[in-house]
Amino acid sequence: MLRQFELIEKVRSYDPTADEALLNRAYVYAMRMHGAQKRASGDPYFAHPIEVAGILTDYRLDTATIVTALLHDVIEDTPVTRAEIDELFGTEIGELVEGVTKLSKLELSSEHLRQAENLRKFILAISRDVRVLLVKLADRLHNMRTLQFIASPAKRERIARETLDIYAPLARSIGVHRICTELEELAFEHLNPVARDAIGRRLETLRQQQGGAVSLVSGEIAERLAEGAIPARVFGREKNAYSIWRKLQRKSIGFSQLSDIYAFRVIVDSEDDCYRALGVIHRAWPSIPERFKDFISTPKRNNYRSLHTTVVGPRGMRIEMQIRTEAMDRVAEEGVAAHWRYKDKSYGFDLEHQKAAGGRDPLVNLRHLVQVLEHGGDAEELMEHAKLEMFLDQAFVFTPKGRLVSLPTGAMPLDFAYALHTDIGDTCIGVKINGELKPLRTVLQNGDVVEVIRGGKPVVPPDWRSITITGRARSAIRRHIRQTEKEEFTRLGRATVDQTFEAAGKSRKDVSLRPALDRFGVATEDELFSAVGRGRVSPPQVLEALFPGLKADEKKAAAARHRIEDGKAAKLYVRGGGLTPGVSIHFHEGCSPVPGDRIVGIIEDDGKGLTVHTIDCDSLAAFEDREEAWRDLQWQLLECEGAVSLCWWEVAQLMAHIGLVQ
């Protein structure tokens, strides 16, 4: 544990102007507040915030961040309040401490939901100040270093899984690779000790077979670069167990096939030297073309810049190599932390200057997650998007005007369209890739030029969810479908209520629906109609709420059920009300009706809306006693001139769905 003067000396070693009095005050205050509290290891609790602060000094972070690390648990674990922190240490530190305070107070029905809700809160907190994330990552790192002292195996597994699923990807997304790597290794040790030990044994065997390989290869690379008059430092290392495990899983190979266990880094003086060094290395050893990546001209979203190549080097070894400058290396290892060093002319955080100089926003992944929250995404949706956005590598594609768009590897045209703008995605009806029409399920490749073909109005089929991978696209599609569901269920419910009133000799427009709203616990008429459309409330129940004892005339009711008023912009391919297949109208899987079959609709109570059956479907027997649920339907055919008769879809919708065809 760092003593008080040792911590202050570490801070002053990189920031001679650090507020020593503030650091001393925070150290003493946190020690006094935590008092006799103990960790699971038996150590004084105060050892934990000191270790967290020590981790952050390795990144040369500003005084406010170090003070926050010392105080990060006092609000949660002691009687201290935010107001006291503000008074003693200032509003800036008060906001940071409050942001880092653990977010596990909310009790939800499942562990998964609790974790997702905490992530939701956490993303909102770090969106205000990324130093909150830096402190939280250091906090999690020290907790993982001492995880073995927790008695409960289930709790250890839960913490390790959360670390691997959330905290390590968050660290990677902002480029803090040292913390990311250690978090992954520690979590892997607890989650899969058998695999980790097996990899360890294989690595030991390879070390014995390739003794001295790191120093040999490093020396030969340095020698070749010196011959080319390129000043450089060369470092070699053994790959980590978890990164090897992921590679084994990705390539579906066994431990016996594992051979390339070393990675080398070449640090040069300038960007030009990076490319010169690459030329020297490729002349010296055969390269593997598909393994070359240029992240200098096209940086990753977290602003990572480097040249990656793999060559068949000395002894026939496959050698992975990264070539970059000192500044690139600092950002690669420290990520966004490199921008939050102590604030002098050299180290102040200036994101706008960085972007103007051609760099990328290192917080872009976090901003994407915040956008999900701002557009009403729920906690579980956010959890899914976090894993999607932060685990995937990148592909770089272009608009016809040359704008570069960075997308995860495996992205498809709709991901591209929604990355440009939500409206562009919603109105997409086709796509050209490198000048040729392609299906919407085409996987985009590096360097593709993508042109989105747009229709006049939003057309978002539910099937689109299966041909997108980015959180941004999936969130926008779900949002549009939710809105469409709301509108269509409301329209369907209003029509069925009107029919029931007509059969009873009443007009809905002549009465107040307030008694029905109160009875069914809804605030507006549209909410009531939506509940009816979803089958959660029946039209006769609405009639009974307004006119107790009044019944609809069965003959008139039967006639009314044969008629659902057509919407002006009918979207469905059965006559009735402008409903969208897959949203508020569904086809029964048992009888699978097709155009030409006699059909009937059933409004079930499962919240899905109208289900279409063939007239002789065996499942209809279950609804014999629920006449109010039946709707007579007919196929509606849309025709256009020419050799093809288009059934079911308007042209814009047809084009959107043609894009789904392989």
| Active site amino acids | 76-77
- Whose structure tokens read 């000799």? 505
118: CB partners within 8 A, 6+ apart: 103, 104, 106
- Whose structure tokens read 């205000």? 128
Distance of CA 228 to the CA centre of its chain: 44
Contact 104, 141 (CB under 8 A): no
Contact 388, 408 (CB under 8 A): yes
d(CA 419, CA 78): 45
- Give, for 299, the enclosing helix (H) or strand (E): none
182: CB partners within 8 A, 6+ apart: 141, 144
Contact 430, 441 (CB under 8 A): no
- Whose structure tokens read 């990144």? 59
d(CA 76, CA 238): 40
The CA-based angle 524-539-610, given to 5 degrees, is 95
| Helix, coil or strand: residue 292 | coil
d(CA 458, CA 183): 43
Residue 320 dihedral angles phi and psi, to the nearest 5°:
-90, 135
Contact 31, 122 (CB under 8 A): no
Nearest to 292 by CA among 313, 306, 271: 306
Contact 657, 466 (CB under 8 A): no
| Helix, coil or strand: residue 624 | coil
Eight-state DSSP code of residue 635: B
Nearest to 507 by CA among 456, 474, 543, 453: 543
Name the residue type at position 531: A
d(CA 541, CA 504): 13
